[in-house]
Every structure is written in structure tokens, then in C-alpha cells.
Structure 1
């Protein structure tokens, strides 16, 4: 199966991967190509930028969460456009640990057999940039690096010095981007996507992408992305007939969802209906609730004022409606959220209080999950956690679903609060890494018949 594709990798974080990836997508669209974006790693924020500029929902590619086979299957089955563009994560070889490239961008390039464009920050270097490029090129016997993009070039003289030095790599330079703080998305913070509407976000990205794209050799990039080997054809998974309805919280406060997770619920026989805990006064008629991550603290006041929604969710939980919540969803289900010295009352399903922190918690997670609405029995589980909050005053008789070997969870390496038929955790899961979606849908069907 022929899939024209390219990966954008960086020498480190902060070299401009997201803005340059968006610009390549923009330039390809100007050439008449439709583009399917992907993002290496578990990140929810960058995919929103890629989705905005491409007009296609971005999919994540994370080896730790998905496993190699599921990752390749997802990539192939979701590459439905003319070109697939993959944004890498951190530095090219950065992954789970320091002793291998496991879960790195390079690992994903090897699985998908994709050529790589290496983005280098040239702002504080000249000839030495060749040493960096050669290091990346030779660090692994098959780096798959097929071209270089120079970012933050200060002048024509600076560009010439870098070009002369990089001749040793024998790699084409397919982009030379001038140093300009206005061409960076680095100013974004954790809550940016919750405060920008989609039109504003698109205009911001489009303006940056238009400028950067003028500094790209898009014809050379097209040549590289078309020079790819065939990938195996995969059979389309069968979809069960819809037998139940799951209401999914989706608005400016709750928007951290893997597209594959939503698709897996549909595949298992769930019809999805979306609602807003911020703005709506009722929940669609449903047999289950899915409340994903996001930024409930940013619009804490509006969430707190929507008393009708909070009461509805608590009543449904007490009626044993299956509810699955992650991170922001967990925070929303506690008694309150304390943010910038302001306390906002939340649903109050769990006897705990959320407190925002300045310290980021970012880990892959691994452990065991007990019998829950997404697991029929105790089994191994792998996921990730990413948040700027902690739970205080957790009731001493609280029940937890996860025992973690790797990761922190809510407290003492335990995660996944259980109450009635609700499971709420800091950890995020990839549903197809096990039969989580199948079990959740089964429990929703069971509830509908009760």
C-alpha cells in the first residue's frame, strides 16, 4: 500500500516542530494535496494545531500506549488523504529511557518506514551545526534522515555558513527559516486551547504557516515524501450495530480525547452524542458517560455556576450509570477545584478536593487494573499521566482501581477512584491496547437493560 509520508523531527524540544509541521501541511495544501496529520507521543495539545490547519482530525502514534502493531495499523488505516505528515516528539531519539530509542520519534519512523526531516535550531551556532547534524545522522545505523530544515537563521551570511558546514552530511536543506519571535507557537500555555475558539486558532496558525511556508523548498519535500516503500494492506475492522448511546463531554474545558478511542467505542456498538458541561443544561439520553481531560480550572467559574449539569451528573452516577473519566474529568468529579486562590465547587461525587500546582506531572504509567467498567478482571495496564494538579483530602476509605509500578497516580502510586459505577483517574489509556472499549460498551448496554 503506497502512502506518501514524512516525519518532522527535532534535535530537541523547542526547535519549532509544531509551527514548521503546520507550515508544511499548509504548503502541501496550496499544492493541491489533502493531508492527514499524526503526532508522535501522548500529547493532546499539538494535535489540535495540526487538526486546525489540515482540517482533518490528528491521530496520536505512541508505542508505549499502543504497541508497535496497533500503532502501524492505526497509521495505515487512518492515512486516507493524499499525504500523511507526522510531527515528532522531543528530540529525535528521545523516548521512554536513555538506553534505547523505544517510543521515540526514530522508533516510529522505523515502524512506519518513513523518511525524516530533521529540524535544527541554528540561532546560536554556525559551523558547529554540522557536528550536531552528523551526530544525529550517524547515531543510529539507519537514521532515516532525508533532509534538514534550519530554523532561526539570523542573516544571509549566517545561512551561508551553515550551508557550507552541512555539505558534509550530503543531505538536502529543504527549509531556511529566519529568526522571528512572531513565527513561534512557543508562547502557548496549557490553557490556550480552552480560551481560543477554533476560528481564532486557525487564523493564528494560518498566518504563521503562510510566512514559514515561503521559506520551504516544498517541491523537494514532496519528492522526499513520495520516495517511500509500500506498507502492508490491513483489513478494516468490523463495526457492530449501534446498541447503546454514550454521552461524551466536549467543549472548551474537556477536549482531550484520542480519536482512536472514540472510534473504538463506535466500532464496539456505541453511538456517541456530545454535550457541554460548561454551557448545556441537560445531557443527551444515554447509557454511559465519557468525560475526558482538559482544562476545567480555566473555566472553573462557569462550570461551578452550572448547578443543573453538576446535579444531573451526580444523580446519574448515584443511579449506577457507567461513567469513565480521565484527568480533567476526574477533577470535575471531585468536590472542588482550587486555582489561583479561588475555589470552584464541582460535582462532588468523590470525597476529595483538587488543587492546581505549578509543577507538571508527566509520566508514562504501568501497573495493574482491578475489575471495573472497562476491565472484566485484574490485568496489566499501560498509560500516561500529564497534569498540573493534585488531589487533597482524599477520603481514607476511597477505593482505587490502579496499582502503579511506574507513575504516581492520585496518591501512593494508586489511581482510578471508584464510586458506584464510575471510574475516574489521572491516567489516560489507549482503548485498543486491551478490550477497554468493548467492556465499557457492554456495561453501558447492561445499564440500558436494567
Structure 2
């Protein structure tokens, strides 16, 4: 984050993988494409549109490189162009995975494609349809005059005859890039927040290699067209955390960490270390803690049984040292977590009064912002758990439509919320959160 105002330009084959909606298989197609070209010896960079922690874990494993979020509202268009331009300077292939349907959300995946001049490459699940495939492709291509759609991918075709049907159904100016047959190698297990975390899938690398071979046999090993992206380098953040030590929880229970957030802390001068609340018995030497989101509800018994770590976190809090807890981190900071599997109650860190249990359906989803005098921290929320507490919130986030969002609690040196922040949007506020 230097050379403020300098313009950079990058040119590389770039494709934005999109779909008519969720469930068409674009995530695994993107991952398989990344692994296919990585296995061919190419440097592959992948980006994910919109708030998401789980898909990027698989995409990172597939490509062998960090996966950053790009979203016109949460990260900003300037950052999108900067990240893509930098990637295009070094990579042989750049892929951007869209979110939900091509035109869903504000901003949508289509907005990003148009803003950066990238053609959209729809993945359309062809199962349970024939010639209707062409109508869907036509609709995606014609819905916006400023969006380029030249090719489509048919996913989950049942036979060569089925593939021929969908190919013949396309209008003359849209070609079928490839038809992917149904294959178990594209099936990833999921749970209430999305797909299972990459490090929990024991055979993921073999599965990605197998999916890559399926794409190669389907003729999807060709590179997309080159795109040139120009951008200005961002302003270097102030060194407000110079020499400040921050310990970050990272394991199977706490893993929802945007790489852009880590980069920002380091750029502000913070000295970072990582620890496991599940396995470690003590904290690293640190001035502040960050307990990010994740799946503490799946590890309540083990978290509760690690009495040494509980004592260390409580001592950190009692010493008045800052703790920033997001979503799963908030859940762990309460007194009681109800196990969703058997209903047992586990005693957790007890930094704030409260009881957390899982709801039968999603409680909250969407982009939000925390507005303060030190800046607007943009981010999002997505959780299936519900918190019962008598603690009055210190503030609340605001949804993009202006309505009230998540509660933000301050209990001593603890700041906790279901809200996930994207740190680069408000460096001064983030510095305050970790300095207390």
C-alpha cells in the first residue's frame, strides 16, 4: 500500500464465472478451472465477489494463492480495480467468482463485470432441461446492454445427446464453451452456513484434481480472452498500530478471516500472531485479541474443556486489554453456548452475560456498516444463532437500506457483535478497536 496515486495496468486472461442463481455449481466449476490451469503450470489468481468466507477457502486450495473479496460496496470499486490489475500483472489467469445470480444484489456480479470490462461467463445447470437452456442464456446476455456475454458453460449434462441439445438451443452470438457431465468430483458437503471448510474435507486435493480432469475432457482447458485493467494504487494507511501486538484466533472453530483485514493490520504496523483456542493452553504475548467468526457451535465441548485457554482469555479481559469479537467470537465470549447436536450447555469465556443457541433458520444476512466519528466500517452479517442477553448494546450497525442492523456490545475492554467488518474501509476505527 504505497506509491499513492501511481497508476498501474495489468493485462491477463480474465473470466468472471457467474450463474443464473445459487445452486448451478459455479463455485466448484471456478475451483476446478483454477486447479486445471494450476496443474498445467500456470499462476492462477482467484477473487470472490461479495461477502464470503467458505468458498474462498476452497478456491485458495485450488489455486494455491490467497483469495481476496471484491465487492463494489464493501471493498469499493477502486480497490477492486487495484487488486485485479495487480493480479493481472503477475498471473497467467485471473478468475472472479460471482455471488448468487448474475443480477442479484446491489451491487451485483454484473455491476463488477461492467465496471472492470470483464465478460461474464455463465455456468448454467443443464440438468432437468433441454432447449430451455438457450432461453436462459439469451436472457442473461440481453438483460443489460452494457454487459458482455459471449460464451456459456453447461453444467451437469446427462449425455452427449443432451449436450448437443443445449448447444443447438443457443442463439448464434453465444457459443457453448463446454458441457460438463455429472460427476461426484464436483460435490462438496455443506452445513448451515454454506460448504464445509476446506481443511475439513480430507480428500479435497484429490477431488479438485479429479474435477479438473473432467473439465479438461470437456474441452474447458483453453484460456479466456485477455482483459486490460488500469487502477490507481491506494493511499497507504496511517501507522496507527506500530509495534502493537495482536493475537488472532485461528483454527476449526475460528477461521472466518479476510486476508484484506490481515493485510491492513500489518500495513498499520501491527505485529500479528495466531493461536488456537481449541488446542493451545496459553495466549501469545500480545496487547490485543481478535476472535473472528467461525463454527464455535460445533466445538463447544472442546472449547469449554480447554480451561487453561479460558483462564488466559479471561485474564486478558480482566487486565483491560482490548478484545474484538466477531460473530462466532461473540458467541464464545458469552456465558453459555447450547450444543446444536444434543442440546447440552457449555460454559464458555463468560466475558459478557448471555446465552447463545442455534435457531431453526437463518437469523440475519446482508451487508451493513458501523458508523462512528472515526469512519464507516463496512461489512456484513450472516448467522443462524441467537443471543439472549441483558446487556444493552453500545451501538448498532446500519443496513444498506438505512434500517437498524446488528447490536454492538462493549463490556469492559471487549467489543463484540455479530457484524463482520472489512477493515480497510475504516483504518482509524479499526486501530481504536485494537488499542482500546
Do both share a fold (TM > 0.5)?
yes
Q: Deviations over 1:189-224 (max 9, x none)?
A: 2486459447643333333333333213322xx1x3
**TM-score (structure 2 length as normaliser):** 0.89
For 2:356, the equivalent position in structure 1 comes to 354
Provide the alpha-carbon RMSD of the alignment. Answer: 2.5
Give the 3-state SS of the residue equivalent to 1:32 in structure 2.
coil
Pick the aligned partner of 2:416 from 415, 424, 440.
424
Distance 2:392 2:151 in 1: 54
User: Residues 71-112 of structure 1, C-alpha deviation per residue, up to 9 Å, x if partnerless?
Assistant: 3233334554322111111111111xxxxxx32111111222
Count of residues in Structure 1 that have an aligned counterpart in Structure 2: 422
1:365-376 map, 5 Å: 365-366=367-368, 368-370=370-372
- Unaligned ranges ≥5, structure 2: 1-8
The corresponding residue for 1:142 is 146
In structure 1, what is the Cα distance between the partners aligned to 2:307 and 2:176?
A: 57
1:64 corresponding residue in structure 2: 73
Q: Tell me the distance in 1 between the aligned counterparts of 2:204 and 2:300.
A: 22
- Three-state SS of the structure 2 residue aligned to 1:255 is strand
- The match for 1:232 is 231
1:330 maps to 330
C-alpha separation in 2, matches of 1:344 and 1:205: 37
Q: Secondary structure at the match of 1:332?
A: helix
Match in the other structure for 1:171: 174
SS in 1 for 2:124: strand
What is the deviation of 1:44? 0.7
Offset of 1:128 from its aligned partner? Answer: 1.7
Aligned twin of 1:374: none
Q: CA deviation at 1:242?
A: 4.4
Cα pair 1:3 1:83 within 8 Å, conserved:
no
Instruction: Quote the Cα distance in structure 2 between the aligned partners of 1:12 and 1:282.
Output: 45
TM-score (normalizing by structure 1): 0.87
Q: Equivalent residue for 2:267?
A: 267
Aligned 1:114-133 pairs, distance under 5 A: 114-133=118-137
1:64 offset after TM fit, Å? 2.5
Mapped partners of 1:128, 1:421: distance in 2: 58
Structure 1 spans left out of the alignment, 5+ residues: 96-101, 371-376
* 1:303–1:346 CA contact under 8 A, matched in 2: yes
Matches of residues 21-40 of structure 1 in structure 2 within 5 Å? 21-40=30-49
**What CA distance in whole angstroms lies between the structure 1 residues aligned with 2:288 and 2:225?**
43
Matched, 1:55 2:64: yes
What pairs with 1:302-317 in structure 2 (closer than 5 Å)?
302-317=302-317
Q: Which secondary structure does the structure 2 equivalent of 1:7 belong to?
A: strand
CA distance in 2, matches of 1:271, 1:85: 32
Aligned to 1:136, the other structure's residue is in SS state: helix
- The answer as to 2:392 corresponding to 1:441 is no
* SS state at 1:330 partner: helix
Give the SS at the match of 1:71.
Answer: helix
CA 1:298–1:3: 2 relative to 1, 3 Å: farther
2:383 aligned residue: 387
User: Deviation digits for residues 214-251 of structure 1, max 9, x if unmatched?
Assistant: 213322xx1x332x234235368478494111100001
Q: How does 1:73-84 map to 2 (within 5 A)?
A: 73-79=82-88, 80-84=90-94
Question: Which moved further from structure 2: 361-370 or 133-142?
Answer: 361-370
Kindly state the Cα deviation for residue 122 of structure 1 after the two structures are TM-superposed: 1.1
Shift of 1:414: 4.7
